[in-house]
Amino acid sequence: MDSVLNTASAQLAGQLENHLQTIYPAIEAEAITQLVSDLISIMRLGSVEQVPVPYQNHWSQQDVIMITYGDSLYRADERAMTTLHRFLNEQCDGVINGVHVLPFFPYSSDDGFAVSDYYAVRESVGEWQDIQRLSAEYRLMSDLVINHGSGESEWFQNFIKGEGPGHDYFFTASPDEDLSDVVRPRTSPLLREVQTSVGLQYVWCTFSHDQVDFDFRNIEVLKEFVNIVRFYLDQGVNIFRLDAVAFLWKEAGSRCLNLEQTHEVVRLLRVLIEYASPSAMIITETNIPSRENLSYFGNANEAHCVYNFSLPPLLLHALITGQNFYLKQWMMSMPPAQDGTAFFNFIASHDGIGLRPVEGILPDSEVDLMIATMQDFGGHVSWRALDNGEQKPYEINIALFDALQGTVKGKDGLGEARFLCAHNIMLALEGIPGLYLHSLLGTRNDYERVKRTGHFRSINRHQWDYSELEQLLADETTHHHRVFKGIKRMIAIRAKQKAFHPNATQFTLHLGTQVFGFWRQSVDRIQNIFCLNNISAEPVALSLSDLNLISTQDWSDLLSGERYDDLQGSIELAPYQSVWLSNR
């Protein structure tokens, strides 16, 4: 046993040393050795029993992660996290087994993404015991807001004073440096002037001026975040969402996006997390063009999952135009995720519908058409600055239920069918589904919240009174009831199908412009499911012979229960109808 322990420990130390030498090439060997020792000590990995097994899938078709703020549901008589836990246990019927609780820490802006204390739970949400209780029953995803911290935090106040914890954690630059190539998702100035104890300094703010970027050139910043990871693991966190990680490393004269040191930091964190908790996962939040996003898989040695950021805008475009060309073209270009990695599929989130992920996929004219349609449906547009001073649309801010209330021709009476079709597609695709709470509930645009906060993203961040929500979900006449019931039914069916494993085979079908179809096959090649989706407002007749179904097998629709014995016949698809045609 001692030799096994020594081998595993030696391999861990060797991996950490290699990553650190790449991140910090100027640091002397002795200092790297000490840093390795420090990281192992922080993560409590002094005696490692085994080396993590590579290419392991820590997920199955039964996994669905609900995305929500900790206080999206509230009751006057209990903490918000208790109410969230109640909703999952009482209303979700066991169909949800994971939950991403968006930043539940004290913060100063951006609804939690300007963290002022990484080691505390916001009082309005609950306390660490609530987090621990939730993680005992559900797989828990937490944000690691790793790129920036609050301008009102104790760390930043110490930066201003020039002493105390965090005083050297923040990135500074000179306005005289060449920063013309820096890629940013905002229009505010990149550098913020700050009077400090040593004079005027310019801190780097990729996002808002209240979100000041950390300086990972300082090894103390790396050690601090490794300590935060260890602390979160102790609280029951199983999935780490690395927020805005693509911007982590900065170098003047570069784009300051996706730099090699950034990838190396992700690899380092994966090593530490896998040794500490073999079933824990990393998911990178990189709202950037598709090819760049996929790079965070590495060679199955970086993120376990990457957000499938191109899916929301492309699926929205397909459903409002009734044409699948761009969605299908993109899907055919997507490489299958190798074992040990998976796509994280979502079609709505607390942020808007990002437009950067369709750069090079959707022509500008189609993006403009989509934007105009969403504005007609009550949505807003957020912008980003280009290096030439111009602005470009960055994301559309709208609740998904409202986004799908019509087509480019205007609103119609097919919104619910279109909305459910979108979720049928998302749940059937290769990958792990992430389901935003407000999509599950069919929440509408919250104009009052936008007015109150002054931020467009608030349109899709409604807070529900739990008693009111219970009444709506119980009332069969409401769209909330119908949507909630319909999506839960899809999830329950999905969980039983081996062909819907996140890594099961997927091929795109060519069935005309109105039918978006794809074929899934289980890893053992026993189950086949043909996922057929009419994405148009017109009925479509589809010939079964086009699918080349094996005639000796029994075929039926998992969603409707209808059997198909005549394989030379046809399927009549109503507007926005989905069929999961399975041989088992």
Q: Answer whether residue 146 shows pLDDT above 80.
A: yes
Residue 391 lies inside a defined structural domain of this protein: no
- For the chain, give the percent of residues with pLDDT over 90: 93
Average of per-residue pLDDT across 229-241: 98
Q: Give the model's confidence band at 155: pLDDT under 50 very low, under 70 low, under 90 confident, else very high.
A: very high
Following DSSP, what letter does each residue of 503-524 receive, concatenated? TSEEEEE---SSEEEEEEE-TT
What local confidence, expressed as pLDDT, does residue 80 receive? 97
Average of per-residue pLDDT across 492-520: 98
Lowest mean pLDDT among 1-5, 164-168, 219-223, 535-539: 1-5
CB of 446 closer than 8 Å to CB of 462: yes
Q: Answer whether residue 5 shows pLDDT above 70.
A: no
Which residue in 35, 22, 8, 26 sits closest to 298, CA to CA?
22
What local confidence, expressed as pLDDT, does residue 513 receive? 97
Q: Give the model's confidence band at 323: pLDDT under 50 very low, under 70 low, under 90 confident, else very high.
A: very high
Residue 315 lies inside a defined structural domain of this protein: no
CB of 455 closer than 8 Å to CB of 448: no
Residue 210 lies inside a defined structural domain of this protein: no
Of 463 and 551, the one with more pLDDT: 463
Residue 542 lies inside a defined structural domain of this protein: yes
Residue 577 belongs to domain with CATH number: 2.60.40.1180
Lowest mean pLDDT among 110-119, 200-209, 386-395, 436-445: 386-395
3-state secondary structure 375-393: HHCCCEEEEEECCCCCEEE
**243 annotated active-site:** yes
Average of per-residue pLDDT across 284-312: 95
Average of per-residue pLDDT across 370-374: 97
Average of per-residue pLDDT across 155-179: 97
Residue 514 lies inside a defined structural domain of this protein: yes
What local confidence, expressed as pLDDT, does residue 584 receive? 86
Q: Give the model's confidence band at 385: pLDDT under 50 very low, under 70 low, under 90 confident, else very high.
A: confident
Structural domain of 553:
505-582
Q: How many domains does the chain have?
A: 1
What local confidence, expressed as pLDDT, does residue 3 receive? 47
What local confidence, expressed as pLDDT, does residue 185 receive? 87
Residue 545 lies inside a defined structural domain of this protein: yes
Average of per-residue pLDDT across 185-212: 96
CB of 546 closer than 8 Å to CB of 558: no
What local confidence, expressed as pLDDT, does residue 4 receive? 43
Lowest mean pLDDT among 264-268, 314-318, 325-329, 388-392: 388-392
Q: Which of 71, 243, 402, 557 is catalytic?
A: 243
DSSP conformational letter for 251: -
What local confidence, expressed as pLDDT, does residue 390 receive? 79
Of 551 and 268, the one with more pLDDT: 268
What local confidence, expressed as pLDDT, does residue 267 receive? 98
Please report, for the chain, how many H helices and E strands are present, in that order: 17, 27
Residue-wise pLDDT for 74-99, tens only, equals: 999 899 999 999 999 999 989 999 99
What local confidence, expressed as pLDDT, does residue 1 receive? 35
Beta bridge partners of 564: 555
Residue 534 lies inside a defined structural domain of this protein: yes
Residue 334 lies inside a defined structural domain of this protein: no
Mean pLDDT of the chain: 96
Lowest mean pLDDT among 284-288, 367-371, 463-467, 487-491: 284-288
Q: Answer whether residue 213 shows pLDDT above 60.
A: yes
For helices 479-494 and 415-428, what crossing angle results, to 10°?
20
Average of per-residue pLDDT across 554-567: 95
Following DSSP, what letter does each residue of 3-21 receive, concatenated? HHHHHHHHHHHHHHHHHHH
Torsion of CA 177, 180, 185, 186, to 10 degrees: 70
Mention every residue, 6+ apart, whose C-beta is less than 8 A from residue 37: none
Following DSSP, what letter does each residue of 91-153 receive, concatenated? HSTT---EEEE---S-BSSGGGTSBS-TT---TTT--HHHHHHHHHHSEEEEEEE-SEEETTS
